[in-house]
Amino acid sequence: MSQENTPSDAATNAPEMEAMAQEMTEMDALRAERDDMRDRFMRALADAENTRKRAERDRREAEAYGSTRLARDLLPVYDNLKRAVLTAGDNAAPEMAPILEGVDLTLRELTQVMAKHGLTTISPNVGDVFDPQLHQAMFEAPLPGTVAGQIIQVALEGFMLHDRLLRPAQVGVSSNLG
């Protein structure tokens, strides 16, 4: 007995073949949908991680630099206390000594509190080289015995809040050419 495909056998196999083809098409569609869902999930996971990192960075910056406005508002108070101590110096009348001591203690305490919160002074000295990243030139003048770019006077100290410049030191700079 030989097995030959007869036209009736082909007709019987045709629906089975069509069903298999449809199942394969459905499987391919399901695989594509699975791959799309996996891709979307991975993107959502990466987006959530980026959002978490960004929120953490923003939190750290707010913690470190959130007091910027308050710090800027305190700088004139520091400047005035420092001027009062420097102006009075050793020439103060004996009856003013307790007041001067109180002002000096207040200045020291303010300086400690500012340092505790990351606020540090930029105190250039006469003779230092002018650094535009830290100093602001208020005037330029020739001064014998100096070279161009040397600080010849410090008008006002500058301040850094952690690693950011809050206020540049205000200085006078030599314009000598040699």
Alpha helices in 89-172 (DSSP H): 97-116
Q: Does domain 118-178 have CATH number 2.30.22.10?
A: yes
Amino acid at 119: L
Q: Which residue has the higher pLDDT, 135 or 1?
A: 135
* Helix, strand, coil % in the chain, rounded to nearest 5: 60, 20, 20
Question: Degrees (nearest 5) of the Cα angle 153, 159, 162?
Answer: 150
DSSP letter string, 101-112: HHHHHHHHHHHH
Domain boundaries, the chain: 7-65, 67-117, 118-178
pLDDT confidence of residue 98? 87
The pLDDT tens digits of the residues spanning 98-111 come to 888 999 999 999 99
What are the two backbone dihedrals, phi and then psi, of residue 151, each rounded to the nearest 5 degrees?
A: -75, 130
The pLDDT tens digits of the residues spanning 7-61 come to 556 566 888 888 888 999 999 999 999 999 999 999 999 999 999 999 999 998 8
Alpha helices in the chain (DSSP H): 7-65, 68-88, 97-116
pLDDT band per the 50, 70, 90 thresholds, residue 119: very high
pLDDT confidence of residue 176? 77
CB atoms within 10 A of CB 10: 10
How much is the mean pLDDT over the chain?
89
SS3 4: coil
Q: What is the pTM of this model?
A: 0.68
pLDDT band per the 50, 70, 90 thresholds, residue 75: very high
pLDDT band per the 50, 70, 90 thresholds, residue 95: confident
User: Comparing 66-70, 119-123, 160-164, 171-175, which segment has the lowest mean pLDDT?
Assistant: 66-70
Strand locations in 2-63, DSSP E? Answer: none
Q: Give the chain's length.
A: 178
